[in-house]
Amino acid sequence: QVQLVESGGGSVQAGGSLRLSCTASGSTLPIRGIGWYRQAPGNQRERVAIINSGGTTNYADSVKGRFTISRDNAKNTVYLQMNSLKPEDTAVYYCNAVIRPYDWGQGTQVTVSS
């Protein structure tokens, strides 16, 4: 089973930036759609961005124009560049396959203060 490990979270003030990384361990990053998701306490898990095997991307309206998802297959890594962060972006961020997801990892915490 492929394991995906998230990193890069932290605390930042509103308007700041972070870059999250999602790296496959134990295997090469699968050649299929990968998404970034987030979940705040009391909220449903929300998919914020996806990238398919051909590089096509899509974003939730709430992050469109601010977040960019990309992948580097040579590094077995999917990235989420987050700019112009807002307090409402505060959540635990996870990555996973869009179709037939793997077991969810621990995610990485993003905290945006006003």
Query: Are 108 and 7 within 8 A, CB to CB?
Result: yes
Residue 36 reports pLDDT greater than 80: yes
Amino acid letter for position 77:
T
Of 12, 16, 1, 5, the residue nearest 76 (C-alpha): 5
List, for residues 18-33, the tens digit of each pLDDT value: 999 999 887 777 678 9
pLDDT at 50: 97
